[in-house]
Amino acid sequence: MTWELFELLLVASIKTVALSGLSIVLGFFLAAGVCAGMLSQNVAARRAGRLFVSFFRGTPLLVQLLLIYHLLPRVGIDVPSEVAAVIGMSLCTAAYQAEILRGGFGSVPKGLLEAADMCGIGAFDTFRRIRLPIAVRLTLPALTSELIMILKASSLVSVVGVIELTRMAQDLAASTFLPLPLYAAAGLIYLVINAVIASIGAIVERRVARGHA
């Protein structure tokens, strides 16, 4: 196990972090929309939201990734591996985040919404400015876990041809015949990244507990 090999793993881990991070952020906005749908008065929007969640939570990410990768070119959309990976992970995490947020929305005290109502704030602004931020604060621990889950699940995107951390370790293990140190190093890198995410989550939670942020 040389420094050069470790460096290759580190470079690949940047891709892991970038793709996961992008997916989490895109997934969050999608989740907010899906959640708004599930909580809406509109029956069609509610159905669509539930259908979305049950599909993307009910099928493995691996299958979703393969579907996207093979389906999109069929309908004439040629997507690079990275894009397919981000689409797949975003859709999948959106379903989980939507469910997490739905729980958070249920815990927003009714009085806070009545106050918004009495101030004349419309449904959309109340959602955007009051319900969503409070729901996010109430569900921060669960959202942090989801961030960690998706980072680990990103090892699956190698099936659509993305060379991320796990895949890089596999490739290097095969060519150098050093599987043990390489997988150990990859595991260590995942551990460090997730430790950083967890502590950032804890810091944000503590700030929020004081009312800040």
Q: Which of 74, 111, 177, 180 binds another protein (CB under 8 A)?
A: 111
Closest listed residue to residue 151, CA positions, set 201, 78, 103, 212: 201
76 phi/psi in degrees, rounded to 5: 85, 10
Closer to another protein by CB, 26 or 121: give it.
121
Closer to another protein by CB, 58 or 109: give it.
109
Beta carbons within 8 Å of 207's beta carbon, 6+ residues apart: 213
Q: Which of 130, 142, 163, 198 binds another protein (CB under 8 A)?
A: 130
Task: Give the pair of three-digit tokens for residue 119.
Answer: 């101030």
Counting every residue written for the chain, the total comes to: 213
Number of residues located near another protein, criterion CB under 8 A: 23
Rounded to a whole number of angstroms, the minimum distance from the CB of residue 96 to another protein is 23
From residue 89, alpha-carbon distances to 24, 146, 155 in Å are 8, 12, 11
192 forms part of the interface with another protein (CB under 8 A): no
122 forms part of the interface with another protein (CB under 8 A): yes
Closest listed residue to residue 130, CA positions, set 104, 168, 166, 96: 104
106 forms part of the interface with another protein (CB under 8 A): no
Task: Give the pair of three-digit tokens for residue 15.
Answer: 């891709």
74 forms part of the interface with another protein (CB under 8 A): no
Distance CA 165, CA 33 (A): 31
Residue 152, number of CB atoms within 10 A of its CB: 14
Closest listed residue to residue 157, CA positions, set 71, 77, 212, 92: 92
From residue 109, alpha-carbon distances to 99, 106, 116, 162, 189 in Å are 18, 8, 12, 44, 41
Residue type, 169: A
Closer to another protein by CB, 56 or 105: give it.
105
Q: Which of 43, 58, 109, 180 binds another protein (CB under 8 A)?
A: 109
Segment contacting another protein by CB under 8 A, of 23-31, 41-49, 106-114, 177-185: 106-114
213 forms part of the interface with another protein (CB under 8 A): yes
Closer to another protein by CB, 7 or 117: give it.
117
Q: Which of 17, 39, 62, 121 binds another protein (CB under 8 A)?
A: 121
Closer to another protein by CB, 70 or 207: give it.
207
76 forms part of the interface with another protein (CB under 8 A): no
Give the interface with another protein as residue ranges (CB under 8 A). 109, 111-112, 114-122, 125, 129-130, 133-134, 137, 208, 210-213
